[in-house]
Amino acid sequence: MERKNHDQNPNFIFGIHPVFEALKSDKDVEKVFIQKGISPAIFKELRELLGRKETPFQFVPPEKLNRLTSKTHQGVIAFVTDIKFQDIEQLLPLIFEKGKVPLLLVLDRITDVRNFGAICRTAECCGVDAVIVPSRGAAQINSDAIKTSAGALHKIAVCRSQNLKTTLAFLRESGVSIIACTEKTEAIYTTLDFTAPTAIIMGSEDEGISGEYLKLSNARAKIPLLGEIGSLNVSVACGVILYEAVRQRLHTTV
């Protein structure tokens, strides 16, 4: 079988010096793959740079790196993105200061790039103030995601969280109501109040929202399913919930 050539992929860079330079620059690096067994001296310097920007990294076997590029990668590949990540702890006070009622979207383990892009497109159309994603276990924000979002990823704030549990606790302490979209409730989504400062959590299609995040939610919302298929595509479910929030908020301003 012929190996697919990814060498021209603009979403990653490889080689020790180029990766070091990217981490030292103002580029936003999503994550870094490091070959297992890399030189301790190289890893020490790399770890310092990764820690400075809180950039996620993962040790991988050389075969994984070789599948990404046939060129000399020197045991390091960094995935970059065209968007600028923001910090929700700095952004949320600014939203309040503008007199806005925050509407936030938290994505727990949404890994499909096209689903992520479609969700961000809907979120931007609904006036969502920020999309919050975990630093690990999230879709890569690459050219496919940006294309599927119809450019929304260049317009909406994306905040990367090192610890979603800590982020959700911060939101609650800041007066934001956490609403989890899950089938593990009897409350239909239209019965909940989305007019207050709100963060909506959406989970992966196969596993849903993590139990620890469900425990931190103020309320749970269920979308009724009347057919035989047991679930909606997550981007569709997200659209249903967000437009209920839009409907309620428009109604209160009329």
Instruction: Please indicate, yes or no, if residue 198 is contained in any of the structural domains.
Output: yes
- pLDDT band for position 254 (50/70/90)? low
Instruction: Please indicate, yes or no, if residue 114 is contained in any of the structural domains.
Output: yes
- Rounded to an integer, what distance in angstroms lies between the CA atom of residue 57 and that of residue 66? 17
If asked whether residues 180 and 65 sit together in one domain, one would say no
Distances (CA, A) of 47 to 18, 68, 84, 111: 15, 22, 21, 25
Q: Which of these three, 39, 61, 81, is where a domain ends?
A: 81
If asked whether residues 74 and 96 sit together in one domain, one would say no
If asked whether residues 136 and 26 sit together in one domain, one would say no
If asked whether residues 166 and 74 sit together in one domain, one would say no
Give the tens place of pLDDT for each residue, 61-111: 999 999 988 888 999 999 888 888 999 999 999 999 999 999 999 999 999
Per DSSP, the residues of 119-186 read HHHHHHHTT-SEEEEESSSS---SHHHHHHTTTGGGTSEEEEES-HHHHHHHHHHTTPEEEEE-SSSS
Give the tens place of pLDDT for each residue, 214-250: 999 999 999 999 998 888 999 999 999 999 999 999 9
- Residue 86's SS3 state is strand
Give the tens place of pLDDT for each residue, 102-153: 999 999 999 999 999 999 999 999 999 999 999 888 888 888 898 999 999 9
The rounded radius of gyration (Å) of the Cα atoms in the chain is 20
Give the tens place of pLDDT for each residue, 5-20: 444 456 888 998 889 9
For residue 50, give every residue at least 6 positions away whose Cβ sits within 8 Å of its Cβ, in sequence order, or none: 23, 32, 57
- For residue 252, is pLDDT > 80? no
Report the CATH number that the domain containing residue 17 is assigned in CATH. Answer: 3.30.1330.30
Instruction: Please indicate, yes or no, if residue 5 is contained in any of the structural domains.
Output: no
**So what's the pLDDT on residue 3?**
43
- Mean pLDDT across the stretch 156-170? 95
Contact indicator for 74, 15 with CB cutoff of 8 Å: yes
Q: Which of these three, 81, 107, 128, is where a domain ends?
A: 81
- 29-33, 52-56, 73-77, 244-248: segment of lowest average pLDDT: 52-56
- Mean pLDDT across the stretch 181-210? 94
If asked whether residues 70 and 121 sit together in one domain, one would say no
Say how many domains are in the chain: 2
If asked whether residues 182 and 148 sit together in one domain, one would say yes
Instruction: Please indicate, yes or no, if residue 1 is contained in any of the structural domains.
Output: no
The domain of 100 spans 85-253
Instruction: Please indicate, yes or no, if residue 4 is contained in any of the structural domains.
Output: no
**So what's the pLDDT on residue 4?**
45
Q: Which of these three, 81, 102, 125, is where a domain ends?
A: 81
If asked whether residues 46 and 89 sit together in one domain, one would say no
